[in-house]
Amino acid sequence: MPIIQIENLSKTYEYYRKPAGFWNSVKSLFHREKLFAEAVKSINFSIEEGELVGFLGPNGAGKTTTLKILSGIIYPTSGSAKVLGYTPWKRQARFQKQFALVMGQKNQLWWDLPAMESFILNKEIYEVPEAMFKETLEELTELLDIKNILDVQVRKLSLGQRMKCELVAALLHSPRVLFLDEPTIGLDVVSQNNVREFIKKYNRFKKTTIILTSHYMEDVEALCERVIIINHGLIVYDGKLQKLLDQYIDHKILEVTFTENVDAKTLARFGKLKERAAKRAVIEVRKDKAKDIAVQLLTKLPVDDILINEVGVDEVIRKIFAGTARL
Amino acid sequence: MSYMYLQLTKTWLQRHLSYRARVVIWAVTDIAHIIIFPFIWLSVYGQQQIIQGYSRADIVTYYIIIGFIGLTATAHISNVIRLDIMEGALNGFLTKPLPYNIFRIFHELSYKIITAAIALVLFLIVRLSFPEYLIMPATLTTWLLFFLSLIGAFAISYTFELIIGFGAFWFGETSALNQFINLLQMVFSGTIAPLIFFPSIIQQVANLLPFKYLIYFPVEIYLNHLNAGEIIAGFTYQLIWMGALALFVFALWRRGLKSYEGVGI
Amino acid sequence: MANSFSYEAQYRGDTWIKMFFNIIWLASMFLTVEVVFRHTSALAGWDKGEIYLMTLFWILADELAMMIFGANLPQLPDTITDGKLDIYLTKPMSALFAISTKIFLVRSLYRFIMEIIILAAVIWKFDFAFNLLYVFFSILLGLAGIFVLYSFTLMLNTLAFWLHRIDNVNVAISVLTSLGKYPVEVLPRTMRILAFTAIPIAFTAYIPVAALTGRSSWHGILYALVFAGLFFWGAVKFWNFALKRYSSASS
């Protein structure tokens, strides 16, 4: 029995067109055009307990809308969704006590009080028994290394510290499902890494089902075995990340530096020329031919250094978003 | 479950007290908007002792009690709610097992605990400094009825704040609605002057609106200007208005959530 | 200016309603005057026409203030708390001027014109005949009153550098200054002195109209002008002082 199940889920927003400019503003005082935006178009997927899934998609793709529906914030226009067997938008307390939502851009802690106060209040809201609360708090604050900042007002903490506290606050009631919306956004590299490590460990030990949305490919690569890519309200890919890479990366990148100038025409014989500077070139070649072409370059041209690089995940994703990848 | 309410109150009190300046400013505001009127009327009275049933002490007490009601039974939560809706902070509340409206009621009530304390202190200071201008009810019954009417006044005030706040579900900026209701309140609640000082057409409109039960009705009870029949009728109207407004606000909330987009996540 | 107009029209329902509500707001102020004068023929020596003048002068001053800095200064506490002040500090223009005049409220301009027309109607109805010299001084003092209002608002909002979440100070300012619609003679001595000094509510309407109706003495007018100048200078100095101690709130 999947822990999350979505069937033919759709969400259409109504909005008004607000054209810019002086005369249009005057006109809009009298009449506005009502438009519809199909944010999510009849999507389907299911997620088993313990999975760590990444939701990917450009802004406006529908991934945030899907997340909001799954957490009960908004109502769908049609279709069904079940999380832990509950319909999210009914917002039943029994359901809410079993999941948590952490938003990277929106802070849920009490801004003017120490983080500890938010934790204590959450303990009461989620009815966490005292002993379990102490244990979980100890565990989480140890893992995230924030024991010494619990008595500091949240507004005085750094972004990284704040996010760690947000995570603790969300996990005190040991939720079975965790929704993470852009958890590493705006964080420095060290904090991003810490948060990633934590999420990975947490998922592994607690078997918490985690859905993560992110714009950072490092998040996706580090954490998600499975990705669901949403674009224009439709799911364009749902499956293992590695399979996606294997399937759609059919080339490698050769980065070559030369001891003398080589003209573009010569270089183009070896593969697709992506970049060219005085003594440097970047050539895209087919994956299976990469080694052979590298050898050819070394023997036929005055090569100083050569690198064989993998294509980045974001390149693939970008192509999918742009609709140029063949799916 | 009860631990949660206790903890919620404690947390809110801590939070309010961490913003002492803000609390003081609100208290000053609640008092300031009526402070000049007693002086205006005393000037108008001149040599007269009574105008339309109000003695000089009556009219000054009138405004002091309005100040008291402002601090103890007036809600201010509409802007907070508007911001929650506009900036998407509402999202966090919708996912938690603590209902948003309970959270905000405790926000307001815990704030009232603090301002009521301020009100009591100020009341005592005024009573000790100008006893001839602050009338005190003669019987315990009057006090009891007065406090009862304050509960109703608070309920109506809070409901209006919800109506204005929930307006944000449809209108981005609710300041016009806010100002309009405040305006109606100023005139028809008796805040500017006792309703009986107004032309009868205004009094008739005031009788049809709920604002009278925010200020005028409680003060009239306090000043012992009402007979038993008028008191019973007043409470009945107060209850009817509380019920009607509560139903309306409940409907607004439900419709608002349906159209809520959760922007800001 | 065009941007300001677009900013207004964005909230469509609101714009029409706001214009309508403004009329009701004005009506409520006139109603107050009427209610008072139902029970007397003069308020501290001022007759009804003169009180209407005072109310209108107050409305016009309030409207001018709203037009120029009314939408801007109240944003100051939030700008400071959110650490957004930095943007202004990097621009060549004086940060204070930029912040104060960021949005020009076009709807205030329309209301101002309407209110001037009402003022003209009141002058005509109550058959006022003004001495030109007095008119000149009352306008001068009216402008001085705007400077006082600005300075008062600025000073209190500058406190946001030290005190947190005091954006509601603007509600307090609005309420306090609204007391300036009435003749300060009704107030007891201590409060009257406050009205001319620390809580300067007398400058927006009372002093200009006192000059207009020939109630002012030379030293009264001089005091008002000097006070306005000093008060403004003090507010700007305070602002600069606060700015120096400013540190970004972002992490």
CA distance C31 to chain B (A): 9
Q: A117 falls in which pLDDT band (50, 70, 90)?
A: very high
Chain-chain contact of A28 with C12 (C-beta, under 8 angstroms): yes
The runs of H, that is alpha helices, within chain A are 22-28, 63-70, 93-96, 115-125, 130-144, 159-171, 189-206, 217-223, 241-248, 264-268, 290-300, 313-322
A59 Ramachandran zone, left/alpha/beta (phi>0; psi -120 to 50)? beta
Domain ranges (residues) in chain B? 2-259
Query: C6–A26: do the CB atoms touch at under 8 Å?
Result: no
% of chain B exceeding 90 in pLDDT: 76
* Whether C201 contacts C118, CB under 8 Å: no
pLDDT interval class at B259 (50, 70, 90): confident
Please tell me the distance in Å from B52's CA to the nearest CA on chain C.
Answer: 10
Close Cβ partners of C2 (under 8 Å, ≥ 6 residues apart): A21, A22
- Write the single-letter amino acid at C61: A
Pairwise CB contact (< 8 Å): A25 & C251: no
* Partners of B98 in beta bridges: none
Residue of C nearest to A187 (CA): C251
In the predicted structure, residue C160 carries a pLDDT above the cut 50: yes
Q: Which amino acid is at B220?
A: E
DSSP-derived letter for residue C203 is G
CA distance A31 to chain B (A): 16
Arithmetic mean of pLDDT over chain A: 88
Q: How far A10 CA sits from the closest chain C CA (Å)?
A: 29
Give domain A4-245's CATH number out of 1.10.150.310, 1.10.600.10, 3.40.50.300, 3.30.70.20. 3.40.50.300
Interface pTM, i.e. ipTM:
0.87
Cβ neighbour number for residue A215 with a 10 Å cutoff = 15
Report whether pLDDT(C51) > 70.
Answer: yes
Residue among B3, B15, B265 whose CB faces A106 most closely: B265
Terminal CA-CA length for chain C: 35
Please indicate, yes or no, if residue C117 is contained in any of the structural domains: yes
Among residues 147-186 of chain C, which lie with CB inside 8 Å of chain A?
164-165
Whether the pLDDT of residue C249 is over 50: the answer is: no
| In-domain check, residue C249 | no
Tell whether the model's pLDDT for residue C250 goes beyond 70. no
Please name the residues between 202 and 241 in chain B that touch chain C, using a CB distance below 8 Å: 202
Q: Which of residues 183-212 of A touch B (CB under 8 A)?
A: none
- What average pLDDT does range B151-171 have in this prediction? 93
Give the residue-averaged pLDDT of C138-156: 94
**Closest to A200 (Cα-Cα) out of A54, A52, A98:** A52
**Which amino acid is it at C239?**
W
How many beta carbons lie within 10 A of that of residue A217, not counting itself?
17
H/E stretch holding C176? helix C169-178
The rounded mean pLDDT for chain B is 92
User: By mean pLDDT, which of A215-219, B233-237, C61-65 is the weakest?
Assistant: A215-219
User: Is it the case that residue C242 has pLDDT exceeding 50?
Assistant: yes
A311 three-state secondary structure: coil
CA–CA distances in Å: residue C93 to residues A256, B249, C81, C97, C101:
50, 47, 22, 7, 11
Nearest CA in chain B to A11: B261
> Mean pLDDT over residues B102-113, rounded?
96
- How far is the alpha carbon of A111 from chain C, nearest alpha carbon, in Å? 11
A97 vs B contacts (CB less than 8 Å):
97
Question: Right CATH number for A250-310 from 3.30.565.10, 3.30.70.260, 3.40.1190.20, 3.30.1300.10?
Answer: 3.30.70.260
Q: Does C19 touch chain A (CB under 8 A)?
A: no
Q: Do C12 and A32 touch (CB under 8 A)?
A: yes
pLDDT tens for each residue of A186-244: 898 899 999 999 999 999 999 999 999 987 778 888 899 999 988 888 998 899 988 88
Structure token digits, residue C118: 């009402």
Q: Cβ A99–B265 below 8 Å, yes or no?
A: no
Interface probe with B: pick from A74, A75, A99, A172, most Cβ of B within 10 Å: A74
Q: How far is B23 from chain A (nearest CA, A)?
A: 15
| pLDDT tens digits, A136-157 | 999 999 999 999 999 999 989 9
Helices (H) and strands (E) in chain A, counts: 12, 13
Quote the pLDDT of residue C110: 83
- Is there a contact between A112 and C164 if contact means CB atoms under 8 Å apart? yes
CATH 3.30.70.260 range(s) for chain A read: 250-310
- A28 and chain C in contact, CB less than 8 A: yes
Residue A52 phi/psi, 5-degree rounding, is -120, 100
Q: Residues 6 or more apart from B41 whose CB is under 8 A from it?
A: B51, B59, B60, B193
Closest-CA distance, A170 to chain C, in angstroms, reads: 22
In this complex, is the C-beta atom of B187 within 8 Å of any C-beta atom belonging to chain C?
yes
Has residue A133 got a pLDDT over 90?
Answer: yes
- Domain of C74? 2-244
Pairwise CB contact (< 8 Å): A73 & B15 = no
Say how far apart CA A307 and CA C99 lie, in whole Å: 53
CA of C159: which chain B residue's CA is closest? B21
Residue C15, chain A, CB below 8 Å: the answer is yes
Q: For residues A230 and A62, is the Cβ–Cβ distance under 8 A?
A: yes
Query: Which chains, if any, share at least 3 CB pairs under 8 A with chain A?
Result: B, C
pLDDT at A289: 86
Does the residue C197 lie in any domain?
A: yes
A108 interfaces chain B, CB cutoff of 8 Å: yes
Q: Are strands A209-213 and A52-56 parallel, antiparallel or unpaired?
A: parallel
pLDDT reading at A46 higher than 60: yes
pTM for this model (two decimals)? 0.84
- Are A34 and A40 in contact by the 8 Å Cβ rule? The answer is no
Which tokens is B62 given? 């009138």
| Contacts with B257 from chain A: Cβ below 8 Å | 75
Q: Which residue of C has its CA nearest to B194?
A: C35
**pLDDT score for A325:** 53
Nearest-CA residue of chain C relative to B188? C28
Q: pLDDT class for C92, splitting at 50, 70, 90?
A: low
Asked whether the beta carbons of A154 and A107 are under 8 A apart, the reply is yes
The answer to whether B163 and B245 are in contact (CB under 8 A) is: yes
CB contact under 8 A, C38 and B197: yes
Residues whose CB is less than 8 angstroms from the CB of residue A195 and which lie 6 or more positions away in sequence, other chains included:
A160, A163, A164, A167, A183, A184, A187
- At a CB cut-off of 8 Å and minimum separation 6, what does A82 contact? A4, A5, A6
Any domain includes C207: yes
Across the range B162-181, mean pLDDT stands at 84
**CA-wise closest residue to A191 among A153, A155, A217, A219:** A219
Q: Take residue A149 and report the two structure tokens written for it.
A: 């900042």
Quickly state the pLDDT bin for C89 (edges 50, 70, 90).
confident
Question: Is the per-residue pLDDT at C251 higher than 50?
Answer: no
Residue of C nearest to B197 (CA): C35
Helices (H), C38-94: 48-65, 76-81, 85-89
The shortest C-alpha distance from B75 to chain A (Å) reads 22
List phi, psi (to 5°) of B259.
-95, 5
Per residue in A251-281, pLDDT (tens digit) is: 888 888 988 888 888 888 888 888 888 888 8
Match 């019973």 to its residue by tokens: B232
pLDDT digits (tens, 9 = 90+) for B30-68: 888 889 999 999 999 988 888 899 999 999 999 999 999
- Which of B18, B43, B179, B188 has the most C C-beta neighbours within 10 Å, making it the best mutation to test the interface with C? B43
Q: What is the mean pLDDT of residues A167-181?
A: 96
Joined tokens for residue B43:
């000037």
Ranges for all domains in chain A classified under CATH 3.40.50.300? 4-245
The continuous run of DSSP H or E covering B86 comes out as helix B78-87
What's the pLDDT score for residue C18?
Answer: 72
| Residue A213 in contact with partner chain B when CB distance is under 8 A | no
Closest partner residue to A25 (CB to CB) among C5, C165, C249 is C5
Give the residue among B164, B157, B166 at the shortest CA–CA distance from B191: B157
pLDDT recorded at residue A268: 85
Higher pLDDT, C212 or A57: C212
Q: Mean pLDDT in chain C?
A: 85
Q: For residue B261, which residues of chain A lie inside 8 Å, CB to CB? A: 13, 74
Q: Do B95 and A99 touch (CB under 8 A)?
A: yes
Residue of C nearest to A186 (CA): C251
Long-range contacts, C229-236 (Cβ 8 Å, 24+): C229/C144, C229/C147, C231/C147, C231/C148, C231/C151, C231/C152, C231/C200, C232/C147, C232/C148, C232/C150, C232/C151, C234/C151, C234/C155, C235/C150, C235/C151, C235/C152, C235/C154, C235/C155, C235/C158, C236/C96, C236/C151, C236/C154
The residue of chain B nearest to residue C39, with distances taken between CA atoms, is: B44
